[in-house]
Structures are given as C-alpha cells and as structure tokens.
C-alpha cells in the first residue's frame, strides 16, 4: 500500500522486481537477469521505480572480486526514478516524487530500488530522468573535488586526467566556470576532441604528459592534479605539480598506486597528497543539498552539459561493464529497465 501525507492508499504495487545480479565474482558474463520479490521500504526509506541507473567503474571492481561483496550481488548505488512507496517516518518525499541518488541502500541495476529518504535528492522539473541518473555520482564527485578537497581559484592552472570520461568532462566544465586554466589527458584523437569540446585549454596524450605540462607552465607546474587513473599516471602527476602543489588521487582505473615514501613529497617541493572518496563529502543533508542545488542550477542554465555515452537495456548490464573496462566508451553509461 502507499502512503501520501500520512494517508494510506491500498493501490496495488508490482508483484516482483527485475534485477541484474552476480551469483559469484567474475567477468561481465556473471551478470544475469533475475526476478525477485519487490523490496519493501523500512522506516526512513522510499521505494523507487527506476527510470535509469548509472554504471560506474567501481561496480566492475565489485563484480570482479577486487572489492569483496556478498553474493548474490546486485550492483549499483546510483539511479533516478519515481517514488512508489514510502516507509514510516519519511518526511519531504511522497508517492510520485522524482528523486536521484548516488547512495542507494540496495542495487540500482533493477526495476525498483530502495534508498534512505535522507539520501534521495528531489529532481527539478526541468531535469530529465536521464540527466538525473547521469549526474549524481560523477557530478557530486567533480563538485567536491574542486570546491572542497582543493578549492580552485580563478586563474589557477589545473591538470586532470581522462578528460573525455564522465568525471573528466564535468571537471573541465566546472573548472572553466571558475575561471581556471585546464590541462587534461586523453588516449585517442577522438577523445581529445571530446575534451576540447568540454572546454579544456590543453589536451595532451598520456605519453610524456608531465614534460608537456612543465613546458606549458614555463616549468612552474600546476597547482593541483585531479587523478582518477592511478598507477599509470601517478608518477607523472607528481612531476606535473608546482611547489606546494596538491595531488588528489580519487580513483585507480589503471590499477592501485604502490606505497609511497613520504620523503618524495619533500623532495618534489613540499607537496600535499590526499585520497578522498565521495562518502566523506556527503556527510549530512546540508552538504548534500548544497552540492546538488549547484549542480542542478548549472545544468539548468547551461553551464554544465552531461554527456551520455550509451544507454543499455537492464539485461545488457554485462555488455556495459565490458565496454567500460575496455575503454570503448566516453561520457556516462546508463541502464534502463
């Protein structure tokens, strides 16, 4: 049954939910469609009918066993849709509310998912379902990186990696809106064109990028590097930094960075290094509201444009993972039930 403004309506809900799950760790082929009982919202939760779900690299690590998970495992924490049921004590959301989240309590690779109401962000009317599903994780990541981990000021020169990727394109657009000069890296000419279209001032190949950064900056180096690639770029990222520069390692798509001798930071100019994650920057309702209100505003006024690289039927989640791991895609990948 449904409850709206504390009034219960005995309308029928679906009998079952469609999900994609893995029974064991493995390659993309372990993801297979299944039918499960429709989840029921606990106190403080809402049940959402999925409009679209975001696909993120961390889910390939979970599926493959790099990050241990319990099986059967339904991936996904990011999605958007319409509330169809609410648990006790929920305030601010009702049946029919459109929401987005990057913090779902259960897997969003599904026709329906649960999320704590406090972690569900209301979606403005001028934002589409696809935009709402594509924005939360990568958008909030880009926002915290440049506003909180290292707050970029106008005129600063910044290096990012994977400039044609989902986070990379958002970083470039938000950095340019701040008045920063953006240097980024890509792996192909096609991806370089995408990064340039997002507004990057300089687009470099990964090979010898640090030397090119030093040349562009007249050997001064950059104020900050935002590095989500990890092992393959880490050394070059450090060499790209100026004195007292900040290394922000927020991911490891090429593999995890090996242990670092902290004396290296001194030898290279008194550098700073940090390893943040989104969870530490969505600590409360106020922080969450701040980030998403700015992101939705940027989408609405055209400051920010989302690149949705591909949309897959829910049952083809394995193909989405394969394409993501083999770098066949640019922009955001979505699943639709």
DSSP letters for 44-58: TEEEEEEEEEEE-HH
Could you tell me if 201 and 247 lie in one domain? yes
Helix axes 57-64, 317-325, angle to 10 degrees: 100
120 and 196 assigned to the same domain? no
Provide the 10 A C-beta neighbour count for residue 88: 11
27 lies in some domain: yes
8 Å CB contact between 55 and 31: no
Q: What is the pLDDT of residue 106?
A: 86
Domain-embedded: residue 297: no
Residue 175, CB-side half-sphere exposure with 13 Å CA sphere: 33
**For position 330, what pLDDT does the model report?**
76
Task: Name the residue among 126, 36, 120, 31 with its Cα closest to residue 79.
Answer: 120
Pinpoint the alpha helices (H) of 231-314: 234-240, 263-267, 285-301
User: What is the DSSP secondary-structure string of 313-324?
Assistant: EGGGHHHHHHHH
Asked, for residue 289, whether it belongs to a domain, the answer is no
- From 54, 106, 110, select the one nearest 311 (Cα to Cα): 54
Query: Block means of pLDDT (10 residues each) for the chain, length 337 residues?
Result: 47 88 98 97 97 94 94 98 97 96 94 97 96 96 98 98 93 98 96 96 97 98 97 98 98 90 97 96 94 96 93 98 87 93
My answer on whether 46 and 59 are in the same domain is: yes
Same domain, 186 and 222: yes
Q: Are residues 229 and 255 in the same domain?
A: yes
- Are residues 90 and 20 both part of a single domain? yes
Phi, psi of 97 (to 5 degrees): -65, 135
CATH number of the domain within which 61 lies: 3.90.180.10
Q: Does residue 107 sit in the same domain as residue 240?
A: no
* Domain count of the fold of the chain: 2
Write down the pLDDT at residue 11.
Answer: 61
Tell me whether residue 290 is in a domain: no
User: Is 331 found in the same domain as 260?
Assistant: no
Q: Is residue 286 part of a domain?
A: no
- Residue 81: CB atoms within 10 A of its CB come to 28
129 and 33, same structural domain? yes
- Which residues on adjacent β-strands are paired with residue 226? 160, 248
Burial of 72 (0-12, 13-18, 19+ CB in 10 A): middle
3-class secondary-structure state, position 100? strand
Same domain, 311 and 272: no
Which DSSP state fits 43?
T
At residue 241, the pLDDT reads 98
285 within a domain of the structure (yes/no): no
Question: How are beta strands 308-313 and 31-37 bridged, if at all?
Answer: unpaired
d(CA 25, CA 73): 9
Residue 270 belongs to a domain: yes
Measure CA 232 to chain center: 20
Q: Cα separation of 232 and 317, whole Å?
A: 27
> CATH code at 200?
3.40.50.720
Residues 93 and 197 in one domain: no
Tokens representing 128 are 């589409």
Structural domain harbouring 233? 138-279
CB crowding 114-148: b at 16 or more within 10 Å, else e: bbbbbbbbebeeebbbbbbbbbbbbbbbbbbbbbe
300 is a domain residue: no
């Amino acid at each position: 049954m449904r409850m709206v403004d504390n009034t219960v309506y005995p309308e029928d809900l679906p009998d079952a939910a469609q999900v994609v799950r893995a029974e064991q760790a493995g390659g993309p082929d372990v993801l297979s469609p299944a039918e499960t009982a429709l989840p029921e919202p606990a106190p403080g939760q809402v049940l959402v009918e999925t409009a679209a779900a975001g696909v993120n690299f961390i889910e390939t690590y979970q599926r493959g066993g790099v990050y241990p998970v319990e099986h059967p495992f339904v991936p996904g924490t990011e999605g958007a849709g319409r509330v169809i049921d609410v648990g006790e004590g929920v305030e601010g959301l009702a049946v029919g509310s459109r929401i987005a989240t990057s913090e779902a309590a259960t897997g969003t690779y599904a026709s329906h998912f649960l999320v704590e109401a406090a972690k569900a962000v209301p979606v403005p009317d001028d934002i589409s379902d696809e935009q709402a599903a594509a924005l939360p994780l990568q958008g909030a990541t880009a926002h915290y990186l440049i506003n909180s981990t290292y707050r970029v000021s106008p005129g600063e020169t910044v290096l990012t990696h994977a400039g044609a990727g989902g986070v990379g394109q958002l970083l470039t657009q938000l950095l340019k809106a701040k008045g920063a000069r953006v240097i980024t890296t890509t792996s192909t000419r096609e991806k370089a064109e995408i990064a340039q279209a997002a507004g990057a001032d300089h687009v470099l190949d990964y090979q010898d990028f640090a030397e090119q950064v030093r040349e562009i900056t007249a050997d001064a180096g950059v104020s900050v590097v935002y590095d989500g690639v990890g092992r393959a770029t880490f050394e070059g990222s450090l060499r790209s930094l100026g004195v007292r520069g900040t290394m922000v390692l927020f991911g490891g798509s090429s593999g995890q960075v090996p242990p670092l001798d902290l004396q290296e930071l001194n030898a290279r100019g008194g550098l700073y290094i940090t390893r943040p994650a989104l969870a530490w920057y969505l600590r409360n309702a106020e922080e969450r509201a701040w980030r998403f209100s700015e992101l939705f505003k940027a989408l609405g006024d055209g400051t920010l444009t989302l690149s949705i690289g591909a949309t897959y039927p829910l049952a083809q989640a394995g193909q989405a993972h394969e394409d993501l791991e083999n770098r066949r895609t640019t922009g955001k990948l979505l699943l639709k039930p």
